[in-house]
């Protein structure tokens, strides 16, 4: 973990070079983003004095505020999104939503001029859903059963996310999440569209935005920069 943190520090230095005064950052959610903000914010604030951030969850809102980032409401676009991923395939498509913030993350990422994803090397696979990783699907509560049937018809095996004591998990938007197992995905864009078109589905945790820059954190303390312009 210490070596991954070293890699994260290197990424923070690289990202800080591109952040200028007045920029607005879209802040994804999760432990990797939280750790990156802790490394990045001192570098940015020393240069830019003020940096604006649009958080996508209460968790990251608290981290960003603690780091001195000026929190602002989402006004339709951001300059740069900084986010993590649960899985990254060879085409730099992503599975996201393990933390439950996929809807806000997709809205903000879809508005970004640039996107930077940071993920440890063990998150990288040939195809999405390799190794049994599930796709989070955010669903309106009234549609949980009908959506389960539709997802099953698409070849998925949906499982409603529960809290540790067995209560339903609700997102900050008041929806439920169906963590859905699919066979390894050959065409992420097609699956994203088909799942999203299911009645009652608010969002699907397959992210196929391009262009995108992905920072692959190595266990040796180094990082690799991967880019897709498709």
* Contact (CB, 8 A) for 151 and 178: yes
Query: How far apart are alpha carbons 205 and 103 in whole angstroms?
Result: 8
> d(Cα 18, Cα 114) in Å, to the nearest integer?
11
The number of C-alpha atoms within 13 Å of 94 and in the hemisphere containing its C-beta is 28
Active site residues: 105
Cα within 13 Å of Cα(50), Cβ side: 5
Positive or negative, the Cα torsion across 194, 125, 226, 42?
positive
Cα–Cα distance between 229 and 168 in angstroms, integer?
A: 39
């Amino acid at each position: 973990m210490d070596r991954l943190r070293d890699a994260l520090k290197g990424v923070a230095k690289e990202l800080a070079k591109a952040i200028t005064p007045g920029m607005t950052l879209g802040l994804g959610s999760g432990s990797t983003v939280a750790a990156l903000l802790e490394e990045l914010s001192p570098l940015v604030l020393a240069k830019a004095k003020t940096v604006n951030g649009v958080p996508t969850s209460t968790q990251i809102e608290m981290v960003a505020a603690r780091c001195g980032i000026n929190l602002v409401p989402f006004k339709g676009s951001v300059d740069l999104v900084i986010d993590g991923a649960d899985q990254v395939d060879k085409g730099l498509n992503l599975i996201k939503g393990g933390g439950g913030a996929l809807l806000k993350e997709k809205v903000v990422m879809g508005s970004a001029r640039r996107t930077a994803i940071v993920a440890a090397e063990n998150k990288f696979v040939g195809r999405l859903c390799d190794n049994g990783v599930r796709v989070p699907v955010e669903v309106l509560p009234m549609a949980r059963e009908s959506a389960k049937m539709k997802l099953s018809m698409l070849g998925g095996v949906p499982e409603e996310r529960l809290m540790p004591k067995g209560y339903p998990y609700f997102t900050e938007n008041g929806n439920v999440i169906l963590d859905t197992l699919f066979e390894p995905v050959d065409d992420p864009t097609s699956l994203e569209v088909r799942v999203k078109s299911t009645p009652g589905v608010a969002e699907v945790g397959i992210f196929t935005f391009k262009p995108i820059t992905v920072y692959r954190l190595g266990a040796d303390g180094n990082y690799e920069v991967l880019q897709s312009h498709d």
